[in-house]
Structures are given as structure tokens and as C-alpha cells.
Amino acid sequence: MKIVFLADSIVLQSAGIKHYNKQLLDAIASYPRLTQLTLVVPEKTSELDCYDQVVCPIRQGVPMHQQVRAFSAIPRIVRQLNYDVVIEPAHFGPFFINQKAKRVTVIHDLTPLDYPELHPRQSAIVQRLFLPSIIRKADTVITNSVSTQADIKRRFKKESLPIYPRIPTGQIDAFPSTSAPFILSVGTLEPRKNYATLLKSFELVAADHPTLQLVIIGGEGWKNQAFEQLLATSSVRHRVKLTGYVTLEEKVRLMKQASVYVSPSIQEGLGMPLLEMLSSNIPILCSDIPSYKEIGGDQFQYFNPMDFDHLSELINQAVIKPQTFDYTPRMNAMREVREAQLQRLFHTFDTWQ
């Protein structure tokens, strides 16, 4: 089987979508009956050197050219590759491909449709206009979680196949930190991550824990002005550290040293940082949304994402009475599910031979 993988998101992104799609690509490369795997990329990158890369460049200065080439240049390149399957892993396509080929679309979440106010206006409009047709025409839709699978079925009456990202294998054991105790959270700075609730909760517990700090790992996103204003006027702003993107080594170090991990998102398709935190042994507090419960089961502590009073109580308890947790059983269970999911995808590929 010959597969074409449209890899813009791996080359151009740096958040969770990049890491999920890279893991999905590596998994597809292990399909036993694969004869050729070709990536269409905006530019060649050493990160993907082990794969055959065909460049479809983005013209800088041409408005929305990344999207426009999805209807023109990319289909021309793809048709020349004589493929059996084309995979688009970022909600936008594939468009105008060979009628005999199979289309696979990857959907990470439906928040641009369900919560358009939390996204850039252009992104929400594009998703609303194109996503229904993309999903309808797909021969297979891959989702990153059972939660997203349920959302696809609810909104579009379409069956899909969830595939978890790679589940951590090693144990990240905590060790004594020489720095002040801190709360850790990971995610792009944008409204859906709901850092305002986390900051308000931190303000409530800060007075009783004068050395406690708040560390947020994540790059600058969009529509973040409200949080920036809240932080600028906060009495604890000097105890809040926004790291931006960090190396994997630095992220692991912070995961080791944190006193508690908090994820207050309003909605998520999955939540890859929580999967990574399964390798830790610190308290994990997160909003009571379906995808988070899918990861944590009864191992995490949950709160209403708008209830900063309850979150402050949970943080206070975690700091006053430090506990260690063993998430290994949960991690192993999700790893087994992922392997079964991949086998179902490969079985689908087999039926297309």
C-alpha cells in the first residue's frame, strides 16, 4: 500500500497537534503491508529525514497561501505520487484527490465549532465552512480520543476510530527540589486553557504558602488579553512564571520537581500533557471534562473549570499534605488500548488492499 501523509502540522506547529501527528506518522510507518510512505511538506526538515519528503512551499506574503495550496498545488503533487491512501492530520482536507484513493482525516477536537468564541475568528469560520464536507467525504476519520469520537458522532452522525498518542513508558520519580515549591501547568496561552481560573485559585492559596509559585509552560497563543490583564494587576504576579516553550529535558525536570500539576481547560480533544504526567507521582488536578476523565479515570482529582474556590481547596490540600501516586496501572491500561486501536486501523487498511 502507498500512503501520502500531508505533514504541514508537523513542520509548522510546536504544540500538541505536532507531537500527536508525529506519533501517528511513526505508527503508520509500522504498518506491515506498507510499500511506500511519502510526506508532503512546506519545507524539508531534518526531523523527518527518515521519510521521503516532497516539498510544496508556502509563498510568504500571499494571504492564506497555506490553505489555498491545499486546493491546488498539494492535489497536483499528490496525484503524481500514484498513492492508495492520503492522510490529512489537521482538520483541513484532503481535497481534490484521485477518486479511487481512500481519504483519511484526523480530527483533534471540535472546539472551533462548539466554542468558536475561544478561537481566532478566521479559524472558526474556516472550520464551520469546510469541516462538515471534509468529514462526510472521509473514508475513515481518526480521532485522538473516545471523547472526540463521541463528539463526531453527535454532531455529524459519522463513525470514527480513536487512536491514542504514545503512552509514556518510564516512571518520572520526584526528587527533592532546591527551589521553591510550585504548581505546574502546561499548554498554549489561549482562552480554552482557562488560566484565569488557575490564577484566581493561586491568589487564594498564595497567602498561606508564601514560597509557593505558579509555573506555566506554553507558547503565546491567541485571544489571551484577558489573562494578561488579570496577571498584570494580580498581587501574586511576581510569583507567576510563564516559561514559553521549553525543551523536553526542561519540561521533564519541571515535572519532576513540581508539587502539584493543574490543568483547568474548558474543553480538550485529549490533553497530551496529562498523558505525560501519568509517568509522574505527584497530585494531578484537572477540570471535569470527558477527555480528562478518559485519561485519569478515578486516579485524578476533578473540579468544575469555573470553580476557582474548589480548585484552591484542592491545591491547598496537595501542598499541605504531600502525597505520592502510582499511575502505572492507568498508564498500562491505556497503552494496551492504544495497541488495539492501531490494529483496528491496520485492519481497515487491509480491507482497502
pTM, 2 dp: 0.93
Binned at pLDDT 50, 70 and 90, residue 63 comes out as confident
Grid cell, residue 120, equals: 481566532
pLDDT tens, position by position, 271-324: 999 999 999 899 999 999 999 999 999 999 999 999 999 999 999 999 988 888
pLDDT for 176 beyond 60: no
Give Cβ neighbours of residue 309 (< 8 Å, ≥ 6 apart).
Answer: 201, 204
Please give the span between the terminal C-alpha atoms of the chain, in angstroms, as a whole number.
7
pLDDT at 248 over 90: no
pLDDT higher than 80, residue 169: no
Domains along the sequence of the chain with CATH: 2-163 (3.40.50.2000), 182-327 (3.40.50.2000)
Cα 163 from Cα 142, distance rounded (Å): 7
Per residue in 18-44, pLDDT (tens digit) is: 999 999 999 999 999 999 999 999 999
The closest of 104, 102, 129, 123 to 21, measured between CA atoms, is: 104
Residue 178, pLDDT > 70, answer no
Q: How distant is the alpha carbon of residue 124 from its chain centre?
A: 18
CA distance 28 to 95: 21
